[in-house]
Structure 1
Amino acid sequence: MKRAAAPSREGACPCGGASYASCCGRFHRGEALPDTAEHLMRSRYSAYVLNDAQWLRQSWHPSTCPATLEQDLAQDAGGPRTQWLGLTIVAHAPQDDTHAEVEFVARYKVGGRASRLHERSRFVREPRASGEAPRWLYLDGDIRGEAR
């Protein structure tokens, strides 16, 4: 079976935005911080597409980030590659200045089988060092459905 080609950091952004460089790429490169939970969600989807464990860890709240994140991604890369097909944001619901929820559907294929992940994710905006802007972090999520 032929493995899917690794996604490119050139051209369109995997999240469905503009070019990768001017969309999620600026977050992944550390040039900017997402200003909304939805932007963070989109950047995390793009990080999964591009297998960017560093951004996933940086954008995940330390209290809920799995210790095995890098190993989990490496295991995926060693088997039938997950081919991410698209992201649909269903709802972005700010709760207050520091909490928000984003509901999304991510479509993907593994080993030729199409699937979709439907999740409602929770995000928290936390202060950083004095003088630095607060940042959004992924906290956790409730899976609404995973269909094959």
Structure 2
Amino acid sequence: MLCPCGADREYEACCGRWHAGAAAPDALTLMRSRYSAYVLGLPDYLRATWHPSTRPPHLDLENPDGQRVVWLGLEVKSHRASGDRAEVEFVARYRVGGGSAVRMAERSRFVREGGRWFYIDEA
């Protein structure tokens, strides 16, 4: 299966290894793997890669109305890194139930601690 992050590679050779526990080499790779985790419904991975200072106590990937969220694609706009800090700007598209597609634009902040990258928050 192709990786949901859109990198045009097999899942196991792409985000699958990060989901299995390997440390993502940079913030861009981590962000792409987090998108794939949303697509595949991996809340434990999302929480593990969320910085402890901003990590939610619980993460429910279900839509509050009980409708299925279908992720439609990811487009990375920019990636800036400076030492152990980075920002990734992206657009993700999704649909809830049979509704119209939604465009979510975000600039995410990341930090590297102990050799691992973590998502902090939206800038």
TM class by shorter chain equals over 0.9
- Cα distance in 2, alignment partners of residues 116 and 45 from structure 1: 14
Q: Which residue of structure 2 aligns with residue 98 of structure 1? A: 84
What is the aligned partner in structure 1 of residue 32 from structure 2?
A: 42
TM-score normalised by structure 1 residue count = 0.78
The match for 1:29 is 20
CA displacement 1:70-114 (0-9 Å, x = unmatched):
xx22x33981111000000000011x2100000000011012221
Deviation >4 Å, runs of 4+ = none
Instruction: Flag the 1:77–1:26 CA change in 2: closer, same or farther, 3 A.
Output: farther
> What are the within-5 Å matches in structure 2 for residues 1-148 of structure 1?
11-17=1-7, 18-30=9-21, 32-69=22-59, 72-73=60-61, 75-76=62-63, 79-94=66-81, 96-112=82-98, 113-127=100-114, 134-142=115-123
TM-score (norm 2): 0.93
**CA RMSD, Structure 1 to Structure 2 (Å):** 1.4
C-alpha separation in 2, matches of 1:54 and 1:92: 25
**Bigger-Rg structure (1/2):** 1
Greater CA deviation, 101-110 or 77-86?
77-86
Measure the CA separation in 2 of the matches of 1:122 and 1:20: 25
Unaligned runs of 5+ in 1: 1-10, 128-133, 143-148
Write out per-residue CA displacement over residues 20-45 of structure 1, whole angstroms, 9 at most, x where no aligned residue.
Answer: 11100001011x21111000000000
Higher relative contact order (CA 8 A, sep 6+): 2
Tell me, in whole angstroms, the C-alpha distance in 1 between the residues paired with 2:10 and 2:103.
Answer: 24
